[in-house]
Structure 1
C-alpha cells in the first residue's frame, strides 16, 4: 500500500456562486493507493495520534498552492488531432471550412491504430494541463465508423486515467452526406449511437 500525505493545500471550494479565488482554510489530503481517503486540517497530527507509522508515508508539502478538481474539455475532435501532418492535409487558409474540406479529403485511409496513437498524444497534452474529462466528437460520416471505433477503444483502454465521452458526430452533414451505399449522415449518427 502506498500512502501520500499532501500538506498545506489551498482547496478550491467549488461552491455555487463562488469565484476561483475562494478557497477553504489550509487543508491536508491523505491518499492511499491513489484514492482520496481524507481531506482535513492537520492530518499528520491526527495520523500520529492514531498510531500511524509515518515512516511509511510520503509527505509532500504543497506550500499553500491551489488544489482544484481536474478540468473538463467539452469540445474536442480527438480523431482529427495531428492530421495536418499527413500529405495534402494542411489547412493553408486556417479557416474552418478549409479544415473540414482537408479532413474530408484525407480521412478515407485512416486506420483505428493511427487514430488511437495520435489521440493518445493529444490526451497526454490535455492531461499535462489538468484536463481529466474530455468530450470528443467522432466523425461518423464514414461507413466503417473508423474514428468512432478508435475512440471507443481508447475510452476503454484509458478509463482509469481519463474520462472520455464520445459524441457521434456527422462532420460532413446530417442530411447532405451520402455514403457509398446510400447511407445518410443521420443513418450513421444513429448507428454510432448504438
Structure 2
C-alpha cells in the first residue's frame, strides 16, 4: 500500500514537472515574441512611409489579446491549495505585465542611448578586482599577492586535495561571480 502511494506521488510529480516544462517553454516563446515586437517598435520612428508606419503601428502596438496570453490551468485532482493560489496569483501578475508594462518598457528603451566603451578610461568603469580560488588552482600554478596573481611553475605545488581542483589543464577560477559588464586587466610575461 505504501509503495503504491509513493508510486502515485511520483507519477503525479512527473506529470506536474512535464507540465511545468511545457509552461516554461511557452513563457520563453512569449518572451521572444515580446522582444520581437519591441524590436519592431524601435524601428517604427525610422519609417518614412506614413501608410506603412500606420499599418505597422496597429499590428505592433496592439496589446496581446486574451487568447494570446498564457493560459494556466490548475489540475483539480491535486490538493495543493496553496500552490494553486500562488499559481493563480502569478498568472494575474503575468497578464498585468503583458498588458501594462510592455508599452512602458518599449518607450523607455527608445529613449535610452547606450554608449559603448571605446577607450581604456571608458572600460575602467566596469573594472573589478578578481580573487583567484585556491580550491581550483592547477598544481603547477602558484598563487601570490593575496590570490590575485598566478604564476606557472615547474615544481608541483602542495595544495590540499579538492574536488573542484583542475588536474589536467593549467587553469584557475576566480571566487567572484561575474554578471553584466565586467572588465579586468591581465599582465602576461614569458
Same fold (TM over 0.5): no
Q: The TM-score by the shorter chain falls in which range?
A: under 0.3
Higher helix share: 2
Structure label with greater radius of gyration: 2
TM value normalised by structure 1: 0.27
